[in-house]
Amino acid sequence: MLQCLLRIVLVLAVFFELVNAQQPSSKNQSEIDLIHYGDVIDVDVVGSLDFDWRGTMNPEGFLDGLERAEDPVYALCRTETDVAASIRAQYSKILRDPKVVVKIVDRTNRAVAILDGAIKKPQRFQIKRAVHLNELIILSGGITDRSNGEISIFRPSSLNCLAQASVDKGKQETFVKTGESNGSKMVKILISDLLRGKEGANPLTLSGDLITVVEALPIYLIGGVNNPGQISSKSTVTLTRAIATSGGLSKDADETRITIFRHSGRQSSAIDIDLRKISDGQSEDPELKAFDVVDVGQKGRAKRKFPPVVDRNSDSTRLTALPLRIID
């Protein structure tokens, strides 16, 4: 029910946002129109083919290989018009009243935004227009029930042009990016705030953003249950509730031989449980903790002495294999 409500609210939010997209704010539009890393830039000096140039920026943000210019031309997070003015100022030393036109001819190599975690269709996005977080969530099929209610956004430095400042130092213009942790920052958003439309809870998505719908820590059930696997620990989960969530006991389950394998720091323990005693009120229904492994015994199978090895490491290479969607 909650997932349906979330999807309906986000769909409506995206609908009204798309209706208003015909009149985007100049602030939102200008960030996209500024020159980013990966852009292919064309410099056209009208009437002089010898001075025309096409290429990209170097890692420092200067046009890479613009040999006719006496000084390096900084282009990162500047407008086409501003870069043209800088080139015109330098070419004026060797040409009479040069007319310079600068255009971004290819934006496809900009850093992609990634939406991952407790989302139905994790994917990468190539951002070519102003797009907010809620629209990406809808395009990715919505949030799954494994979410812990929080969304994190890691925004690397230099991959977007949201924050910038310019300082004139003589002939050369130096551009300084502002932000947290040398330009990179982490943003935390509550899904409940996104649903309520709280200010700041539905930010613009920028090139290079890594958006994670945070998953609740897992609890693992193995052995004599109908649907072995992991469940979320986002709320209080007792043993009986966990078994019910996993489809209940299987036909070959031995309810008298249940073991909870638990790690606490460097210590590990095995807790033996008899489910019948819980049913009869002779024992309390234990509360499970994150990363517990519950092994429900099975008839004809010896009791497990050690828990199975659970791989908790995320595969970073998986992100580069996610499907790519273009937002234009």
Are 96 and 118 members of one domain? Answer: no
Task: Kindly tell me the burial class for residue 106, based on how many C-beta atoms sit within 10 Å of its own C-beta (0-12, 13-18, 19 or more).
Answer: middle
Are 165 and 122 members of one domain? Answer: yes
Are 23 and 116 members of one domain? Answer: yes
Task: Kindly tell me the burial class for residue 260, based on how many C-beta atoms sit within 10 Å of its own C-beta (0-12, 13-18, 19 or more).
Answer: buried
Domain assignment present for 307 = no
Are 122 and 166 members of one domain? Answer: yes
The residues, ordered by sequence, that sit 6+ positions from 46 with a Cβ below 8 Å of its Cβ are 98, 99, 100, 101
Q: Print the domain residue range for 138.
A: 2-27+110-215
Q: CA angle 87-90-95, nearest 5°?
A: 100
Separation between Cα atoms, residue 236 and residue 107, nearest integer Å: 48
Q: pTM to 2 decimals?
A: 0.71
82, 106, 130 - which closes a domain: 106
pLDDT at 33: 87
pLDDT at 66: 87
Joined tokens for residue 140? 């990715």
pLDDT at 283: 92
**Torsion angles phi and psi, residue 175, rounded to 5:** -110, 130
Are 65 and 171 members of one domain? Answer: no
Separation between Cα atoms, residue 145 and residue 164, nearest integer Å: 38
Domain assignment present for 58 = yes
Report which residue type is found at 248. G
Domain assignment present for 233 = yes
215, 231, 263 - which closes a domain: 215
71, 106, 141 - which closes a domain: 106
In the numeric block, the tokens 């043209």 are attached to 84
Domain assignment present for 303 = no
Domain assignment present for 311 = no
**Torsion angles phi and psi, residue 3, rounded to 5:** -65, -40
Separation between Cα atoms, residue 21 and residue 42, nearest integer Å: 28
Are 116 and 208 members of one domain? Answer: yes
Element (H, E) at 254: strand 253-264
Domain assignment present for 317 = no
Are 228 and 203 members of one domain? Answer: no
Domains held by the chain: number: 3
Are 287 and 232 members of one domain? Answer: yes
Are 96 and 135 members of one domain? Answer: no
Joined tokens for residue 17? 């946002």
Separation between Cα atoms, residue 221 and residue 249, nearest integer Å: 11
What Rg, from alpha-carbon coordinates, does the chain have?
Answer: 28
**Torsion angles phi and psi, residue 129, rounded to 5:** -150, 170
pLDDT in tens, 55-114: 999 999 999 988 888 899 999 999 999 999 999 999 998 899 999 999 999 999 999 999
Query: Which residues of the chain register pLDDT less than 70?
Result: 1-29, 163-183, 310-316
pLDDT at 14: 43
Domain assignment present for 156 = yes
Give the CATH number for residue 124: 3.10.560.10
In the numeric block, the tokens 């049913």 are attached to 279
Joined tokens for residue 92? 């004026």
Domain assignment present for 318 = no
Buried b (16+ CB within 10 A) or exposed e, 196-208: eeeeebbbbbbbb
Are 11 and 131 members of one domain? Answer: yes
Are 167 and 41 members of one domain? Answer: no
Separation between Cα atoms, residue 247 and residue 222, nearest integer Å: 12
Are 12 and 154 members of one domain? Answer: yes
